[in-house]
């Protein structure tokens, strides 16, 4: 491969990188959203549609699409807009509401990390100045995690028997306490539903870290299903995974994304946990010592309906509703850390986050942790980077000879290729050597992007005076501009030998193209890329100096 082909490959890789980033950012199809409002006049479907056919063993062909479209409403309490809150739970970091259906209808986060407003950018400030943007960016008192009028709530029970299910839908629960304070110790309340022929008792123990233990006692045996609820609806971003995921006993992860659930339901007999998730938050059930039998059905438009199958008189489950904080989930149970999902590159991104979190524990600032992480990555890749930079320098030095060969064999591509390969072999040059470091950095870039995009730990994490949230864009575009400038400076000192003026022009415009397309990406990601450029500049200057010294001493020449 000649130098011109090598440069074309570099350009192709760089341009493809931009195209992939832009497509994933702006053109990825938006997942279907969980409905937040319910039409009050929709007709109820048959009671059989409340339970997925995978539970009742009915044929999936018997479930029509019209049944599926209305099944979500048959799962709802009769007076969904007038929830009867029977117990309010108050904790130092969260509040919780429990209604007369014996379900958790809302969880509120109270920490500043989750309640402070998004940082306003320069355009918003200008808009407010000239009256083009109204309102105020106020701090929330509490952040609600669950959607109002959700289709399914945590702890919602449905009996498989039609008669019991219909009876349970009309009889409210009672609570032994209407206000519970969970401060430093766990507190327990009892919810009771007397159906006459059977009594349902839920003993709910709530812990300060937003976990809970639910023990269900029936006065006589009956088969039923219980849900961990629809996914939280606290983050409106549509580019992260949203839906239901679970981990099986063989550690395999199964995912059912919004829009992909099957009406008849999918059975999993050995789940360590089942979690409904959005970008930052989750509502889940787990029982590591006794794997769960779960089924994931579907509402209309393929929205997942997660349930756990139960049939004993006395059953115990553990649950959690809150942020997907890695260390918190790990403290509850290490298996739960896989709830933090980074997409297709999770297998690699999770190690990037582990290292980043380790650095943060010592430095106390996520921005500084990103800088040190970048240094570590560049140190690991330095041998390859060094070889690539030396290879580019050799190719630059060989440019005159390459041009002579191109002129000599202009009309004979085969001889030209053979002569070029002989030249590379003679001088120890690798036409692909400059591409390898770039290719290796692309998966690292995407892994860091997914970490910064999905890790709730970085939400509202400050760095420098003007950046108050590394998980969103730089509001004043300072970092993107610095990234573009550093990228241009890196190009200026990197050896190149373009024979095509058009290629040279395109290459010079790459810093501008990258700056424009990455300007709205998380500030933490731009910080990583900027520091990466600065390190590359230092390395290139050092290598250029070393090669100059070798040339002067006669240890490196074109004719070696």
Q: Are residues 326 and 390 in the same domain?
A: no
Q: Are residues 328 and 387 in the same domain?
A: no
Q: Average of pLDDT values for 154-160? A: 95
The model's pLDDT over 249-269, given as tens digits with 9 standing for 90+, comes to: 998 999 999 888 888 788 999
Distance, CA of 185 to CA of 171 (rounded, Å): 32
Residue 40 resides in a domain: no
Distance, CA of 120 to CA of 484 (rounded, Å): 23
* Average pLDDT of the chain, as a whole number: 80
CATH number at residue 306: 2.70.98.90
Among residues 340, 372, 394, which one ends one of the domains? 340
- The reported pLDDT for the residue numbered 76 is 38
Q: Are residues 235 and 326 in the same domain?
A: yes
Q: Are residues 109 and 145 in the same domain?
A: yes
- The reported pLDDT for the residue numbered 452 is 84
- Per-residue confidence band for 540, with pLDDT thresholds at 50, 70 and 90: confident
- The reported pLDDT for the residue numbered 240 is 81
- The reported pLDDT for the residue numbered 239 is 74
C-alpha pair distances (Å), 297 with each of 74, 78, 304: 14, 21, 6
Among residues 316, 340, 364, which one ends one of the domains? 340
- Per-residue confidence band for 431, with pLDDT thresholds at 50, 70 and 90: low
- Per-residue confidence band for 238, with pLDDT thresholds at 50, 70 and 90: low
Q: Average of pLDDT values for 185-203? A: 96
Residue 317 resides in a domain: yes
Coil/strand/helix, residue 10:
helix
- Structure-model confidence comparison of residues 520 and 50, the more confident one: 520
Whether residue 100 has pLDDT greater than 90: yes
Q: Are residues 247 and 204 in the same domain?
A: yes
Among residues 299, 315, 340, which one ends one of the domains? 340
The model's pLDDT over 464-489, given as tens digits with 9 standing for 90+, comes to: 888 988 988 898 999 999 999 999 89
Q: Are residues 410 and 268 in the same domain?
A: no
C-alpha pair distances (Å), 525 with each of 366, 375, 418, 479: 12, 14, 43, 10
Distance, CA of 381 to CA of 439 (rounded, Å): 11
Whether residue 322 has pLDDT greater than 90: yes
Cβ–Cβ under 8 Å, residues 235 and 280: yes
Q: Average of pLDDT values for 193-213? A: 96
Q: What is the model's pTM?
A: 0.79
The model's pLDDT over 385-394, given as tens digits with 9 standing for 90+, comes to: 777 777 777 7
Distance, CA of 448 to CA of 445 (rounded, Å): 5
Q: Average of pLDDT values for 542-547? A: 80
Whether residue 20 has pLDDT greater than 60: no
The count of residues in the chain is: 560
Q: Average of pLDDT values for 340-367? A: 91
- Per-residue confidence band for 545, with pLDDT thresholds at 50, 70 and 90: confident
Q: Which two tokens stand for residue 281?
A: 């938050």
Q: Are residues 318 and 451 in the same domain?
A: no
Whether residue 66 has pLDDT greater than 50: no
- Structure-model confidence comparison of residues 444 and 551, the more confident one: 444
Distance, CA of 524 to CA of 360 (rounded, Å): 13
- The reported pLDDT for the residue numbered 135 is 56
Q: What are the phi and psi torsion angles at 241 (to 5°)?
A: -65, 135
- The reported pLDDT for the residue numbered 119 is 66
The model's pLDDT over 77-99, given as tens digits with 9 standing for 90+, comes to: 333 344 589 999 999 999 999 99
Residue 48 resides in a domain: no
Residues in Cβ contact with 108 at an 8 Å cutoff, skipping those fewer than 6 apart: 94, 95, 96, 142, 143, 144, 145
Q: Are residues 283 and 427 in the same domain?
A: no
Residue 528 class from Cβ within 10 Å (0-12 exposed, 13-18 middle, 19+ buried)?
buried
- The reported pLDDT for the residue numbered 101 is 94
- The reported pLDDT for the residue numbered 504 is 66
In total, how many domains does the chain have?
A: 2
The model's pLDDT over 279-308, given as tens digits with 9 standing for 90+, comes to: 999 999 999 999 999 999 988 778 899 999
Residue 457 structural domain: 353-558
- The reported pLDDT for the residue numbered 291 is 93
Whether residue 223 has pLDDT greater than 50: yes
Q: Are residues 113 and 252 in the same domain?
A: yes
- The reported pLDDT for the residue numbered 388 is 73
């Amino acid at each position: 491969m000649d130098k011109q082909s090598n440069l074309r490959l570099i350009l192709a890789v760089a341009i493809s990188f931009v195209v992939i980033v832009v497509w994933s950012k702006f053109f990825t199809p938006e997942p279907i959203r969980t409905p937040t409002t319910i039409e009050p006049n929709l007709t109820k479907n048959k009671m059989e549609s409340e339970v997925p056919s995978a539970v009742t063993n009915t044929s999936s062909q018997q479930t029509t699409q019209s049944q599926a479209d209305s099944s979500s409403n048959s799962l709802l309490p009769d007076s969904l807009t007038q929830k009867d809150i029977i117990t309010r739970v108050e904790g130092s970091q969260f509040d919780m509401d429990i209604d007369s259906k014996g379900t958790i209808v809302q969880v509120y986060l109270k920490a500043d990390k989750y309640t402070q407003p998004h940082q306003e950018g320069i355009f918003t400030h200008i808009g407010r100045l000239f009256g083009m943007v109204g309102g105020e960016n106020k701090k929330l008192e509490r952040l609600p995690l669950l959607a109002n009028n959700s289709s399914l709530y945590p702890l919602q029970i449905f009996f498989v028997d039609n008669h019991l299910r219909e009876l349970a839908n009309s009889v409210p629960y009672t609570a032994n306490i209407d206000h519970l304070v969970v401060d430093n110790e766990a507190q327990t309340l009892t919810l009771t539903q007397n159906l006459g022929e059977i009594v349902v008792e839920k003993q709910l123990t709530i812990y300060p870290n937003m976990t809970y233990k639910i023990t269900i006692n029936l006065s006589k045996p009956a088969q039923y299903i219980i849900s961990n609820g629809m996914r939280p609806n606290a983050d409106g971003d549509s580019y992260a995974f949203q839906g239901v995921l679970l981990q099986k006993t063989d550690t395999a992860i199964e995912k059912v994304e919004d829009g992909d659930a099957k009406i008849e339901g999918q059975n999993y007999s050995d789940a360590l946990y089942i979690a409904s998730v959005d970008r930052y938050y989750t509502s889940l059930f787990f029982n590591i010592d006794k794997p769960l039998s779960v089924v994931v059905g579907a509402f209309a438009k393929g929205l997942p309906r997660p349930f756990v199958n139960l049939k004993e008189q006395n059953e115990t489950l553990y649950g959690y509703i809150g942020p997907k904080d890695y260390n918190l989930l790990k403290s509850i149970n290490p298996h739960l850390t896989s709830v933090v999902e980074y997409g297709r590159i999770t297998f690699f991104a999770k190690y990037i986050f582990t290292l980043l979190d380790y650095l943060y524990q010592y430095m106390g600032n996520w921005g500084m942790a990103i800088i040190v992480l970048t240094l570590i990555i560049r140190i690991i890749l330095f041998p390859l980077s060094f070889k690539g930079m030396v290879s580019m320098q050799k190719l630059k030095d060989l440019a005159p000879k390459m041009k002579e060969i191109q002129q000599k064999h202009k009309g004979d591509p085969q001889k030209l290729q053979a002569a070029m390969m002989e030249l590379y072999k003679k001088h120890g040059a690798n036409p692909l050597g400059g591409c390898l470091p770039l290719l290796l950095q692309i998966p690292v870039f995407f892994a860091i992007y997914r970490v910064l995009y999905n890790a709730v730990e970085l939400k509202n994490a400050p760095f420098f005076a003007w950046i108050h949230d590394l998980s969103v864009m730089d509001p004043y575009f300072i970092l993107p501009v610095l990234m573009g400038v550093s990228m241009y400076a890196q190009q200026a000192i990197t050896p190149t030998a373009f024979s095509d003026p058009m290629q040279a022009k395109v290459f010079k415009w790459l810093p501008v193209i990258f700056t424009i397309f990455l300007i709205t990406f998380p500030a933490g990601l731009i910080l990583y890329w900027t520091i990466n450029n600065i390190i590359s500049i230092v390395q290139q200057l050092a290598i250029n100096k070393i090669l100059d010294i070798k040339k002067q001493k006669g240890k490196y020449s074109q004719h070696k």
